[in-house]
Structure 1
Amino acid sequence: MCGIAGYYGFGEDRDLLGAMSQCIVHRGPDGEGYATEGQVGLAHRRLSIIDVAHGQEPMYSADGQVVLIYNGEVYNYLDLRAELEALGRTFSTVSDTEVVLQAYEQWGDDAFDRFNGMFGLAIHDRRNHRLVLARDHFGIKPLYFASFAEDGEKKLLFASEIRPLLAAEKLERKVNERILYRYLQFRIHDEESATFFAGIDKLLPGQKLVLDTTTGEHEVSMFTRLEEELAELASVERPYDAGVVDEYRERFTEAVRLRLQSEVPVGTALSGGLDSSAVVVTINKLMRQKAAATDSLGAKQQTFSAVFPNSINDEEKYADAVLASVQGNVDSHKILPKAHEFADDLLDFVRTQEEPIISSGPYAQYRVMQKASETVTVLLDGQGADEMMAGYIPYYFAYLGQLRKNKQWDKLAKEVASATDIFYRLGRFRLQSKLTLKKDLTIGSLLRKEWTSRFAGESYRVIGDNLKLRLIDDLFRKSLPSVLRYEDKNTMRFSLEGRVPFLDKEVVKFLFSLSDEAIIKDGWNKRVLRDATRGLLPSMISDRRNKIGFTTPEAEWFKLMKERIYEIFLSSSFEYRPYWDQDAVLYAFEEYLQDRNGASTMVFWRLLNVELWLREFIDGEPAPKAGKADKTDYEPNPGKQLDLTLPGGRTFRRYPLRTDVFYRETDFEPTVLGYVSRFVDGLGDAGEDHATAINNSPWYLFVSEKIVAMTQGRSIPVWDIKVSPAARLLSKAVVRNPGGIGLASPWSMQLAIDEVGLPRILYASARSVIGKFQGKKGVFYEVAGGNINAIDGAAGYQVGTSTHSVKLAPKDPDGVAARLSELVRQTVPAQYAATFAGTAIMDANDLGVVCLGNGTDLDQATVEAVFGDNPQGQTTEQTPMSIVVAR
């Protein structure tokens, strides 16, 4: 298992290859290699599995005319090697890589269809002036590419992941909005060659890309008829009997054995479901038989399971039943993912997936792979069985639709009667949802209509009346491609090779040659697998009908990590995206937390995932604030000035002090005094102008009311505010300003109502309307009183808890100012205490200034005029306090 990257059209550019290769070190930490000739460049990262001592890549043919870089494993390579040797070829290594290379030399592109395994490869055929890319039959291994023109010349970039294509810095980072719409609206992805990135595509399962290196022209086509073969085999319908079960068992066992071939340790993922359990017990059988290739397992089979005690998603009891059945021959490793860990890992998880995914479920797999990588290098998994053996409930309906279409009434009645427990559970959940009278929530209600209207012609349909055609469609388009993406991304993130024995090409072809009863019979799906593993699996697994799989307790976690989610939904970047309505999303999430709507967490996950993906892959690094990194206490904030001259001619110098973020737990007075001391202690080195000014003139401490209120517990998380219908309605009538200040949010309006009462707010609103007709401003706040004008809403551009909290005016600001004034005089050296003239508590922003607490010798109007241009900065500048000197 490895990572590959390369290009056409950039000459012999090793720096470009190096930049691309660096992005996929995790896919191949055991080595790297490069090859360039003419316009073709190839890069390879190696994760050594077979023939560890040899098999380095790029690998050259004996005459040096064919060069291969290869990501994957071809499990039938020994058989192919024997066939090639019979044709007169000789080998210098025992690696499957050399077999792939010589197979191409012998059979050309037809070689790819002979491979049974997983691969993404690139071949530079110098002899025939070709660059060939190919992806395995099921798309287990990814291969992305971007073709474009630069200065009129055709170019191509390709890689095992998307990041190398972006790292080449040849492409503009843009969203493929049609794919984004389909994901948000229909909850689908990976069904076609297009990705979420405009200009970046992927080869589909069984496809090849052939580029003529003399012209730069390329063509994408299929190298296999596997999909058509499966449809043709489906029409044969071999009767289902004991002989079929025995043959399936033998074929599946051989598929598992082939995937144990390795020179490094091999383990198994065990969810507790039928599929992964079948892999575990089959390996156990092979170990007891001392079958070939089991040496890679060591003395015991290593299994890895994600468990969620006391959660509805937990499958530990099923995994334990499997482990008990192979007791003495297994070492079990259990991972217990927690909500706070998911919150911590969220950015890396999104980065790992490279494109949005439909739920947080794959995080359980991510954690399993992380743990497994500490013990093994190869991990077998149960992916693919659901899509070929009807593992999901919708497949029952496709089968029943087929029976109805074919008028097979007796069989239809029997199947319905046999699956009544499944239909009962499904119906019960739906009925319970209806009886709760909760409002349904569709994601369409949260998206901006002006954006979604551009995609009115998009639709999504599934095959509803032919079981096998539905399965084939899901294998190659609708379902499996996304599952395999998670598998590849999660394993390779931790330098682990994932192998999926259910996707053995010959096993799949055999299965589709059987009658439908091998898949669904008497209400049981995966019938042939259940029958083939009876006697190996505990009955509670063989006879299990409820499916969970590797997933997370998302509904429970979202309520536990609501602070993190609100932080994202309230952010400025989320607010200004063209795709969704931030207010609608916040309202829906608030109602979800209060259990007042029937929302699925998958709706919120899609929005979260897209926002974080946009930040990571599209937005790029935010430009650093000019001067923030090295600003001293004696410099202004960017775009501001130290000195301000008032209309009467008096000048004041304002020194904004950068601080750490203040929280409720911050010990307010000692912290403030510490920053004041830092300022005066540094005056000796700040320059004569600064030191002289403060020695000879009155100076003041101006403090933002925000940090006062926050440390007083007056900053309230939005989820702790129960918004009334009145607050929601009234907030809509307030003009929203870009700073999040005021009562334009339902949370801040609710606090205003709580402070002075709804009647007074209604009266102030009415008077405000009249005042506008009279040309008066500020009537609402004047009538409402109670420092309502100091309430600030949550704002994504702020720092700390201000991103998701609403802040009331501080308590007793005059008393706070007086107390701070006294403490400053007690703290600073006598020479500075002599000229210190008091403290002011300021509500200052770019829209206006109000002095809430005045402990200075200046009148209110002068204090407010000194801060008329808001020289401080309570957001990213982190300067919520200032030293002010009268010049």
Structure 2
Amino acid sequence: MCGIAGYHGFGENAAMLKAMSACIVHRGPDGEGYFTEANVGLAHRRLSIIDVAHGQEPMISADGDTVLVYNGEVYNYLELRAELEELGRVFRTQSDTEVVLQAYEQWGTEAFDRFNGMFGFAILDKKRNVTVLARDHFGIKPLYWANVGTDAAPKVLFASEIKPILATGELKAAPNERILYRYLQYRIHDDSAETFFAGVNKLMPGEMMTIDNATGRFAIEAFTRLRQELEELSTQNRPYTPEVTEEYRQRFTEAVRMRLKSEVPVGSALSGGLDSSAVVVTINKLMQEQAEAVDSIGAKQNTFSAVFPNSINDEEHYADAAIAKCSGNIQAHKILPTPEGFNEDLDDFVRTMEEPIISSGPYAQYCVMKEASKHVTVLLDGQGADEMMAGYIPYYFAYLRQLKKAGDYRKLFQEAGQSLDIFYRLGRFRLKSKLTAKKSVSMGQLLNKEFTSGHRGEKFTNVPDNMKLRLIDDLFHKSLPSLLRYEDKNTMRFSLEGRVPFLDKEVVKFLFSLSDEAIIKGGWNKRILRDATRGLLPEKISNRRNKIGFTTPEAEWFKLMNERIYKIFMSNSFYNRPYWNREAVLTAFEEYLNDKNDADTMIFWRLMNVELWFREFIDQPETPADVKLNKSDYEPNPGKELAIESAGSSFLRFPLQTEVFAKDTELAPAVAQYPQRFFDGLDSAPAEVRDAVTEARTDGRKWYLLVSEKIVAITQGRSFPVWEIKVSPAARVLSKFVTRTPAGIGLGSPWSMQIAINEVGLPLIAKAAAASVAGKFQGKSGVFYDVVGNNINAIDGATPYSLGAASNSVKLAPKDPEGVARSLSAALRAALPANAVENFGGVAIMDANDLGVVVMGHDTVLPTETIAGMFKDNPQGQGAQATPMSLVVTGA
């Protein structure tokens, strides 16, 4: 198992290959190799599994005309090697890599369909003057590519992951909005050659790309008819008999045995489900029989299970049953993923997956692989069984519709009757959801209408009434590709090779030649697997009806992680994405946390995952979200002016950029340092500023400090994170009647309305609301705030353009702003030199935004109207400007 990367069209560019290879060290920490010639470059990272001492890559043929870089394992390589030796070929190594190389030399691209295994490789063929890329029959191993040239003059980049392609700098990372829409709206991904990155594609299962080395032009085609073969075999309907069950058992056992071939330790992933348990007990049987290749297991089989004590997702007792059945031949490792660990690993997890995924479930697999890598280098698991043996409930419905369409009502009623317990549980869940009468929430309600309108033509459908065709479609397009992506990314992140015996090509072909009863019979799915492992598996696993698999208790975790999720949804970057309505998302999440709607956590996960994916891969590093602009004390904020007229006088306003204020910030000393910095730096200020300030001080004109009420409230502990605010039904209802204002201003959110209720009580809020309604009939405005008083009009909501905690917290007006102004003035007089204090005119506490200006308190001799006039254009800002105070100098 390894990682590959390369290009066509960039000459002998060793630096590019090195940059690509550096991105996939985790896929092959045991070695690296490079090859360049003419317009072709190949890079390889090696994870040594077979023929550890040899098999280094790129591997070059004896005559030097064929060069291979290869990621994967071909399990029937010994049989192919014997066939090639009979044809006169001589081998220098014991590796499957050389078998792949010589098989291509012997049979050309027809060799690929002979391989039974997993692979993604690139071959430079000098004789034919082509470069060939190929991906295995089921797409177990990935192979991404991008044409960064033109159709007339292509330049192709390719790799086992997307990161190496981006690392070349030849392709700017940008979202594929069509795939993004399909993922958000329909929960689908990995069903086509397109990826979430515009311009980056992948070879689909069983495809190869042939590049003409002379022109760079390329063509993509299938090297196999496997899908068509499965469709043809599905019509044979070989009767399901005990003899067939025995043959399947033997074929499956051999598939497992072939995947034990290794010179490094091999273990197993054990969820406790039927599929992974079948792999574990089959390995145990092979060990008892001392079969060939079991030496890689060691004295005991290492199993790795994710467990979630006291959670509805926990399968530990099933895993324990499988372990007990193996009579002491298991060394069990139990991993306990936690929401705290998920929170800590989240960024790396998103980076590992490279593209958004359907839920946080694969994090359990990520944790399992992290632990497994400490003990083994190869891991077998049960991936693929669900998609070939109807492991999910929707397959039952497809089968029943198939029977109805065929007019086989006897079997239809028989199967439906024997599946009643499954349908009962499903129906009970749906009925319970309807009876709770919760507000219904769908992804479509949360998405930006302009975004969705551009993709109205996108549809997603499944094969409705043919079970086997539905399974085949899911194997190659709808379901399995995404699961295989998770498997590959999670294993290789920790330098593990994952092997999937259920996806043995010959076993799959045998299964699809059987009648439907081998898949569903008597109300039981996976019937042939259940029957083939009777006696090996404990009955509680053989007779399991519920499916969980490697996943996380997402619903439980999201409520525990609400602070992290709120911060993501309230961030500047999330607010500015054109794909969703942030206010609708926040409202839905708040209602979900309070059990007021029927939202599925996967809705919030998809939104969160896309946001984190953008931050990791798309957002430009020179303009990251939630950071300060680099502004001096002597220039205005963008779009503003230093000078302004108020009450017949002129003033110069100098917004002072500060650190982010927090609850534990001591306000007075923190504020005092910034005017000190302003005066200390005057000598290096622009001449016109220095002259104006010096002239004003010489003439005895005053300077003032105007401070945002927001930082005062924060340091007084009157700022409340939204996740700490328990929203009442009254606040939720009342906030909906508030005229929507710019984000974060006023009482238009349930959180800001709730702290208003907490501050003055619901009766006064209700009275003010009633008065406001009456006032509107009389043509009056502002009646609500006149009645409610108590500076409720100064409440700030969570503002997406703010820095730090201000972006996700709600703030009351500061207490005693007049007293705060006096104390700040005293602190400034004590801290500043005499020549600055001499002309100091005092402090004003300001509530200013684009809607208006309020002077909440001051200790100056200026009229309040004059101070308000200084700020009528709202020159400060607590967003990227980070200027919550301004030093104001009286002009000439």
Scaled by the length of structure 2, the TM-score of the pair is 0.91
Task: State which drifts further: 286-295 or 741-750.
Answer: 741-750
Give the C-alpha shift of residue 122 in structure 1: 0.9
Report if the CA contact (8 A) 1:70-1:122 is conserved. yes
Report if the CA contact (8 A) 1:752-1:761 is conserved. no
**Which of the numbers 757, 760, 763 marks the counterpart of 2:765?**
757
Report if the CA contact (8 A) 1:350-1:609 is conserved. yes
Report if the CA contact (8 A) 1:35-1:41 is conserved. yes
Question: Structure 2: any 5+ residue segments left out of the alignment?
Answer: none
The 1:702/1:265 distance shift into structure 2, 3 A limit, reads: farther
AA matched with 2:745: I
* 1:736 lines up with 2:741 in the alignment: yes
Report if the CA contact (8 A) 2:566-2:808 is conserved. yes
Write the deviation string for residues 558-615 of structure 1: whole angstroms up to 9, x where unpaired.
Answer: 2222222222333343334333333332332222222222221122222222232233
CA distance in 2: counterparts of 1:520 and 1:115, whole angstroms: 30
Kindly report which structure 2 residues correspond to 1:758-773, keeping only aligned pairs within 5 A, or say none: 758-764=766-772, 767=775
Kindly report which structure 2 residues correspond to 1:290-305, keeping only aligned pairs within 5 A, or say none: 290-305=290-305
The 1:518/1:190 distance shift into structure 2, 3 A limit, reads: same
Write the deviation string for residues 161-181 of structure 1: whole angstroms up to 9, x where unpaired.
Answer: 222222333334443333223
Give the C-alpha shift of residue 185 in structure 1: 2.4
Report if the CA contact (8 A) 1:731-1:749 is conserved. no
AA matched with 1:291: A
Report if the CA contact (8 A) 1:402-1:465 is conserved. yes
* 1:806 lines up with 2:804 in the alignment: no
Give the C-alpha shift of residue 649 in structure 1: 5.2
Kindly report which structure 2 residues correspond to 1:633-652, keeping only aligned pairs within 5 A, or say none: 651=651
AA matched with 1:23: C
* 1:673 lines up with 2:669 in the alignment: yes
Give the C-alpha shift of residue 457 in structure 1: 3.4
Report if the CA contact (8 A) 1:723-1:747 is conserved. no
CA distance in 1: counterparts of 2:496 and 2:648, whole angstroms: 73
Report if the CA contact (8 A) 1:724-1:750 is conserved. no
Report if the CA contact (8 A) 2:656-2:674 is conserved. no
Task: State which drifts further: 646-655 or 361-370.
Answer: 646-655
The 1:263/1:886 distance shift into structure 2, 3 A limit, reads: farther
Report if the CA contact (8 A) 1:653-1:885 is conserved. yes
CA distance in 2: counterparts of 1:31 and 1:146, whole angstroms: 26
Report if the CA contact (8 A) 2:140-2:488 is conserved. yes
In structure 2, what is the equivalent of residue 704 of structure 1? 708
RMSD: 3.2
Report if the CA contact (8 A) 1:636-1:656 is conserved. no
Alignment coverage as a number of residue pairs: 878
Task: State which drifts further: 62-71 or 870-879.
Answer: 870-879
In structure 2, what is the equivalent of residue 788 of structure 1? 792
DSSP 3-state at the match of 1:285: helix
**Which of the numbers 811, 815, 822 marks the counterpart of 2:819?**
815
In structure 2, what is the equivalent of residue 722 of structure 1? 727
Give the C-alpha shift of residue 96 in structure 1: 1.1
The 1:214/1:657 distance shift into structure 2, 3 A limit, reads: closer
The 1:334/1:832 distance shift into structure 2, 3 A limit, reads: farther
Identical columns (%): 64
CA distance in 1: counterparts of 2:151 and 2:521, whole angstroms: 61
Report if the CA contact (8 A) 2:738-2:748 is conserved. yes
* 1:177 lines up with 2:188 in the alignment: no
In structure 2, what is the equivalent of residue 68 of structure 1? 68
Task: State which drifts further: 637-646 or 336-345.
Answer: 637-646
Report if the CA contact (8 A) 2:768-2:784 is conserved. no
The 1:619/1:659 distance shift into structure 2, 3 A limit, reads: closer
Task: State which drifts further: 854-863 or 828-837.
Answer: 828-837
Question: Structure 1: any 5+ residue segments left out of the alignment?
Answer: none
CA distance in 2: counterparts of 1:386 and 1:577, whole angstroms: 36
The 1:333/1:855 distance shift into structure 2, 3 A limit, reads: farther
Task: State which drifts further: 143-152 or 327-336.
Answer: 143-152
Report if the CA contact (8 A) 1:768-1:780 is conserved. no
Report if the CA contact (8 A) 1:764-1:784 is conserved. no
Give the C-alpha shift of residue 127 in structure 1: 1.0
DSSP 3-state at the match of 1:199: coil
Give the C-alpha shift of residue 424 in structure 1: 1.6
CA distance in 2: counterparts of 1:753 and 1:134, whole angstroms: 64
Report if the CA contact (8 A) 2:651-2:888 is conserved. no
**Which of the numbers 855, 863, 866 marks the counterpart of 1:851?**
855
Write the deviation string for residues 209-263 of structure 1: whole angstroms up to 9, x where unpaired.
Answer: 1122223222211111111222222223333333323322222222122212222
Write the deviation string for residues 833-864 of structure 1: whole angstroms up to 9, x where unpaired.
Answer: 77765443222345544321213454434444
Report if the CA contact (8 A) 2:626-2:802 is conserved. no
Report if the CA contact (8 A) 1:230-1:509 is conserved. yes
Give the C-alpha shift of residue 386 in structure 1: 0.7
Task: State which drifts further: 121-130 or 212-221.
Answer: 212-221
DSSP 3-state at the match of 1:465: coil
CA distance in 1: counterparts of 2:157 and 2:715, whole angstroms: 54
Give the C-alpha shift of residue 405 in structure 1: 2.8
The 1:125/1:585 distance shift into structure 2, 3 A limit, reads: same
CA distance in 1: counterparts of 2:770 and 2:565, whole angstroms: 33
AA matched with 1:676: A
Report if the CA contact (8 A) 2:658-2:674 is conserved. no
Scaled by the length of structure 1, the TM-score of the pair is 0.91
Give the C-alpha shift of residue 135 in structure 1: 0.5
Give the C-alpha shift of residue 436 in structure 1: 1.5
Give the C-alpha shift of residue 302 in structure 1: 1.9
DSSP 3-state at the match of 2:204: coil
The 1:317/1:825 distance shift into structure 2, 3 A limit, reads: farther
In structure 1, what is the equivalent of residue 51 of structure 2? 51
AA matched with 2:273: G
AA matched with 1:758: A
CA distance in 2: counterparts of 1:201 and 1:410, whole angstroms: 47
In structure 1, what is the equivalent of residue 237 of structure 2? 237
AA matched with 1:511: L
Task: State which drifts further: 865-874 or 568-577.
Answer: 865-874
* 1:383 lines up with 2:391 in the alignment: no
DSSP 3-state at the match of 2:859: strand
In structure 1, what is the equivalent of residue 527 of structure 2? 527
AA matched with 1:734: T
DSSP 3-state at the match of 1:182: helix
Report if the CA contact (8 A) 1:265-1:378 is conserved. yes
DSSP 3-state at the match of 1:153: coil
Report if the CA contact (8 A) 2:661-2:715 is conserved. no
